[in-house]
Amino acid sequence: MTAADLGAMAPYSVIAAAVAVGLAALAVRRSHAFAASLAFAALAAASALAALEAASPPGRVGTLFTLDRYSLFFSSALFAAAAFVAVFAYGYLRERTDGPEELYLLLLSAALGGSMLAAASNLLSLFLTLEVLSVSMYALVAYVRRAPESLEAGLKYLVLASVSGAALLLGAALVFYATGDMRLPPAPPVPLAGPDALVWQAGMLLLLAGLGFKLALVPFHMWTADVYQGSASPATAFVATVSKGAALAAVYRVFAGAAGEGGAAYVALAVLAAASMLGGNLLALLQTDVKRILGYSSVAHMGYLLLPVLAGGPAGAAASGFYFVAYAITMLAALGVLSVLPGGGELAEASGIEDVRGLFRRNPWLAGVLAFAMLSLAGIPLTAVFVGKVYLVVAGAGAALWGLLATLAAGSVMGIYYYLRVVVALFSRPNEAAAGEARVLPGAAVALAVLAVALVWTGVLPATLARVAAVLGG
Amino acid sequence: MILLALLLVPFAGGVLAWAAETVSPLAVRWTALCAAALELVVAAVAWFAYPAPAAGWPPWVAQFQAEWVPQLGISFHLAADGLSLALIALTGFLGVAGVVASWREITQRVGLFHFQLLWALAGVTGVFLAADLFLLYFMWELMLVPMYFLIALWGHEDRRRAAMKFFLFTQAGGLLMLIAIASLYVAHGRQTGVYTFEYSALLGSPAALGASVWLALGFVAAFAVKLPAVPLHPWLPDAHTQAPTAGSIVLAGLLLKTGAYGFLRFVLPLFPAASAEIAPYALWAGAAGTVYGAFLAFPQRDLKRFVAYTSVSHMGYVLIGAFAGSRLALTGAALEMLCHGLGTGALFMIAGALMDRAGTRDMGRLGGLLAALPRMNAWTTAFVLASIGLPGLGNFVAEFLVLAGVFSVSPAVAAVGAAAMIASMVYGVWLLYDVFQGPAPVAGDADASRLPDLRGPEAAVLAVMTAGLVWLGVYPQPAVSAIEAGVGPPDVPVAAAPARAARTAAERAEAPAGVPGGARERAPR
C-alpha cells in the first residue's frame, strides 16, 4: 500500500479512527451525547469524503479493494444511512436503556464493515469485511438486552449469519480451488468444462447463498421478520439499509455480468429474484405488524434489486444505485417514525397496525411521513421508489428479462394491498387505547424532515439523483 | 404556460382547500369549487386563445416543455389539442359537480376530502396533457391514490374492499403499461440511438411500427382495465357503488375517459399495425360490453350499481368506435366520452342526492317519488333518455356515429351494438318506473312526501349538463370539428378501407403489403 492508497482510503480511516477515539473516551467518562455526536460527525464526514472522492475515483487500491464510482457511491450512501441511524438511536436509547454508549461504536464498526464490503474486490476482503459487519451486528441487533424480543432476534441473527458466513467461506475456497484466483468478479476457469468448472459453479452458488442470507432472499429469508420486529427500530433501520446495501453492492460486484447467461449462478440469481419477489410479498400480506411487514417487503425489494444485477451494464448499475438510495431513504423514514412513537410499556414499541391506527389525528406530521414512506414502498408517484421502479423496469427491458418483469408486476400489485392497509389505518378513526404523545427530539425531527424532503424530492425531481446514478456504470 | 396552469390549478387548489380547513368547512368547499371552476375557465381560454392548431399531428393547440430527467430522456412535456381540452373542460365541470354533490354529504374530514378530490382531478388532467410516456405513467398512477382514498375513507358500507379491488385492477394494468413503455423506450433507443420517452419522437418510430402485438397489449391492458372492457370490468360496479357521490362522478365521468383517451391518443397512433391485429378482438369485446352491461343493469336493485353497469355498456361503444378503423367511428367514440361524462355524472349526482334524502339506494324500497320530488323526476327523465340514446341528445349522435362507422367493417358488431340500445331502453324506462312513477312500496320506511326536492345549486349543475347534452345532440358540429382532427391515428381516412379490421390474421399475413389507405401504409416492410 502506498501513501496515495492510504489517502484514497480516507473515508474509511475516519470511521476506524472514530471507533478508537470513542473507545478511549469511554474509558475516561461515559457520555451518551458525546458518543452519539462523535458517531454522527464521523459518519457524515466519511459520507462527504466518499462522495467527493467519487468525482475522480482512484480505482483499485492495493489488492483487496476497488474504489470505483460504484463502490464509493454505495459507501457514501451507507455512511449517510448509518448517520441517520445514529440520530434515531440517540432518542430511542435515552428512553430505554442504560449504558447506550457502546451502541455507537458497534454502529461505526458495522458501517465500516458494510461500506468496505461494497468496495471489496477480492475473496479475502469480501469475507473479512462481511465478518466485520456481521459480528458488529450480532450485538447491535440484541442491544436492548432487557427486552426478550431483542435477545431472540439477536440469537436468530447470530445462528443464521454464522451459517451464511460459513457458506460464503466455503464458496470462496471452492472458487479459489478451481481457478487459483481470488480477484472479484471471479473469472471462470478456462476451459469452462470438466471437474474444475463444476467446483467453480458450486463455489459461485455458495457465494450466492452466503450473500443471499444477508439480503434475506427466499429461501434464506427466515430470520428477517423476527429480526426486524425484535430489534430496536434504529437497529432495524440499520439492518434494512446499511447491511442490505452492502450485501447488494457485493452481489453486484461478484455476479453482475460475470456469472454469464445460462451459468448456474445466473439461473440461481433469476430463481432467487423471482422467489423473493413473490415470497416476500405473499408473506407480508399476512402480517399485522408494521415492522414485520417491512421485513417481508424488504425480501421482495431485494428480489427487485436483483434485476439490475442480472441486467448488468451501465443501465443495471444506474438502476441498482438509484433504486437502493430511493429505498434506503424510504426505509429510514419509516423506521425513523416507528422509533419515535411511544410504545405501550417501558421497552415495547408501537409498531402494530392497530398501534398506528388514527395516528394522523394524534400527530399529523409523523403520520404524514409514515404514509409517504408506505406509498413510496408501494411505488406511487411523487415518491422516490416510484422512479426507482421505472429504472428497474427500463434495465430489465433492456436485458429482455420478461419473466422477471412480469413477476415484478405481480409482486408490486400484491405489495399495494399491505402498504395501503397501513396508510388507511393511519387515517382512520383512532383506537381508544392509543399510547401517549410522541416525544420527538430536535435531532430526530430534523432527520425525519430531511428524509421526507429527500423522499419527495427524489420522486418529483429525480434528475438530482439520476445525474449521479448515470455515471455509476462508467 | 397555460397548460402548466391547467395542471397547477387543481394541485394548488387541493392544497389550499385542505389548508382552508383551519378556517371553516365552508371555506374548504368554496375554495374547491373555485378551483374546479377555474380549471374549466382556463381550459376554455386555452382553446380560444390558440385557435389555430400547429402543423403536424396531433394538432396541438398549445404545448409546454421543460427538462425533467435528461439522463433518461424524460421531459416534462405537456401538450393539448381539441380533444384534450374538451376533456379537461369536462374535468373542471365535473369537479364543480363533485363539490356541489358533496356539499351536504361529506361532513367528516372535509379538507382532506376536497384535497383528494382535486388531486384526482389533477391526475386526470395530467393524463389528458401528457406528451411524454413517463409523464403519462406518472399521472396515470398519481390519480389512483386520491381516488382510492376517496372510496376507502368516505365510501359506503363495503368501501375498503371495493377501493382495494379498484386499486389492484388498475395497478396491474398500469404496471403492464410501464413494462411496455420501457420496452418501447429501449427498442427505440437501440434502433435510433436516441433514448427518449417523448411521444412525438416515438410516434412513427420504426420501433413502434414494427413492435409486436405484445408491446401494444401492455398499453391495451392499462387502458382496457380503466375503460373498462369486458372481461376486465369487475372492479367497476363495486368501486362506483361504494364511492361517495363525488367519487362516483369522477370515476364514471373522468377515470373511465382516461382509458378511452389512452386508446385514441396512444395505442392507435403509436401501434397502427398491432392495433389492426387487435381490432377484431377489441370490436367483439366492445360489442360484448354493450350487451353485457345492459343486461346486467336489468336485475340490479342498487341504484348506483345500476348506473355503473350502464357505464360498462356505454364504454363498449367507445371501444368499438376506437377500433372500427374509420374516422366516423373514432369521432363517435370521442363524442361518446363527452356525453357519457355528462350523462352518467348527472345520474350519479342524482343517485347521491336521492340516497342523501331517502337514506337508501335500494330501488325496491324507493318508489312513487314523483309526487314528492317532481324536479328530481324531471331531471332524471332527461338523463335516462340521454342514456338510452334518444335522438336530439348527445349520446344518440355519438352512438349512431360509432355504429355507422363500424357497420362497413363488421355488420355483425354493429348489429349487436344496436341491439344493446334496445335493452338500454328497457332498463331506462324500468328505472323511471321503479323509482319515480310507479307505486310507492308498501313498507316505505320514511314518509316520502316530506323529502326535500333538489336544491338550487344541484339543479343548476344538472341544467348545465342537460344543456350540454342537448347541444351535443342538436348541433354537434362545433364539438366534432374541435375534437375530430386529434382522434386516432392521423392517416385513417374518413371512409376507411372496408373490412380491414375484420379480416383474419392469416389472411392478413398473405395479403400484399400496402393495402391502400389505413394504418397498413405506415407499417414497415
Residue range B201-222, pLDDT digits in tens: 998 888 888 777 899 999 999 9
Which residues sit opposite B130 in a β-bridge? B78
Residue B519, pLDDT score: 38
Cβ contact B72–A393 (<8 Å): no
pLDDT over 80 at A378, yes or no: yes
Cβ contact A409–B175 (<8 Å): yes
What span, in angstroms and rounded, lies between the C-alpha atoms of A197 and A263? 11
3-state secondary structure of A122: strand
Label residue A260 by pLDDT band (50, 70, 90). Answer: low
User: Can you give the pTM of this predicted structure?
Assistant: 0.93
B167, B181, B183: which to substitute to probe chain A, counting the most A Cβ within 10 Å? B183
- Could you write out the DSSP letters of every residue in B165-191? HHHHHHHHHHHHHHHHHHHHHHHHHHH
What span, in angstroms and rounded, lies between the C-alpha atoms of B331 and B337? 10
pLDDT over 50 at A469, yes or no: yes
Dihedral pair phi/psi, residue A36, rounded to 5°:
-65, -45
Cβ contact B112–A381 (<8 Å): no
Question: Distance from B233 to chain A by nearest Cα, in Å?
Answer: 17
**A24-33, A221-230, A348-357, range with the lowest pLDDT:** A348-357
pLDDT over 50 at B153, yes or no: yes
The secondary structure of B386-454, three-state, reads HHCCCCCCHHHHHHHHHHHHHHCCCHHHHHHHHHHHHHHHHHHHHHHHHHHHCCCCCCCCCCHHHCCCC
Label residue B368 by pLDDT band (50, 70, 90). Answer: confident
Q: How many helices (H) and strands (E) are present in chain A, helices listed first? A: 21, 2
Residue B154, pLDDT score: 92
A285, A394, A464: which to substitute to probe chain B, counting the most B Cβ within 10 Å? A394
**A381 at the B interface (CB within 8 A)?**
yes
What span, in angstroms and rounded, lies between the C-alpha atoms of A296 and A217? 10
Q: Are A259 and A266 in contact (CB under 8 A)?
A: yes
Q: pLDDT tens for residues B239-262?
A: 999 999 999 999 999 999 999 999
What span, in angstroms and rounded, lies between the C-alpha atoms of B413 and B382? 28
Region B135-160: what's the mean pLDDT?
Answer: 93
The grid coordinates listed for B379 are 331531471
Other C-beta atoms lying within 10 Å of the C-beta of residue A446: 12
Which residues sit opposite B75 in a β-bridge? B67
How would you class A194 by CB atoms within 10 Å of its CB: exposed for 0-12, middle for 13-18, buried for 19 or more?
exposed
Residues of B in contact with A419 (CB under 8 A): none
Q: pLDDT tens for residues B61-87?
A: 888 999 999 999 999 999 998 899 999
Region A5-30: what's the mean pLDDT?
Answer: 93
How would you class A227 by CB atoms within 10 Å of its CB: exposed for 0-12, middle for 13-18, buried for 19 or more?
buried
pLDDT over 70 at A257, yes or no: no
- B216 Cβ neighbours under 8 A, 6+ residues apart: B180, B267, B270, B271, B274, B275, B278
pLDDT over 50 at A92, yes or no: yes
Residue B325, pLDDT score: 85
Residue B333, pLDDT score: 93
Establish how many alpha carbons lie within 13 A of residue B81's alpha carbon, considering only the half-sphere containing its beta carbon.
23
**A164-178, A285-299, B435-449, range with the lowest pLDDT:** B435-449
**A234-248, B10-24, B57-71, B131-145, range with the lowest pLDDT:** B57-71
What span, in angstroms and rounded, lies between the C-alpha atoms of B186 and A330? 28
Helix, strand, coil content of chain B in percent (nearest 5): 70, 5, 25
Give whole-number Cα distances, B378 to B400, B432, B462, B473, in Å: 25, 10, 11, 19
Q: pLDDT tens for residues B314-344?
A: 999 999 999 998 888 999 999 999 999 999 9
Residue B503, pLDDT score: 38
**B179 at the A interface (CB within 8 A)?**
yes
pLDDT over 70 at A364, yes or no: yes
- Looking at residue A65, the DSSP 8-state letter turns out to be E
Interface predicted TM-score (ipTM): 0.94
Q: Are A129 and A74 in contact (CB under 8 A)?
A: no
Q: Indicate left, alpha or beta for B523 from its phi (over 0: left) and psi (-120 to 50: alpha).
A: beta
**B8 at the A interface (CB within 8 A)?**
no
Region A281-306: what's the mean pLDDT?
Answer: 95
The grid coordinates listed for A95 are 428512553
Closest residue in A to B154 (Cα) is A428
Query: Hunting for cell 404556460 — which residue is that?
Result: B1
Amino acid at B87: L
Residues of A in contact with B153 (CB under 8 A): 424, 427-428
The grid coordinates listed for B495 are 371512409
User: Which of the listed ranges A8-12, A338-342, A452-456, B432-436 does the model predict with the highest average pLDDT?
Assistant: A452-456
Closest residue in A to B181 (Cα) is A394
Residue A236, pLDDT score: 95
Residues of A in contact with B137 (CB under 8 A): 390
pLDDT over 70 at A278, yes or no: yes
What span, in angstroms and rounded, lies between the C-alpha atoms of B222 and B231? 13
List the one residue out of A16, A94, A130 whose CA is nearest residue A138.
A130
List the one residue out of B344, B319, B321 whose CA is nearest residue B331.
B321
Percent of chain B at pLDDT exceeding 70: 90
pLDDT over 80 at A178, yes or no: yes
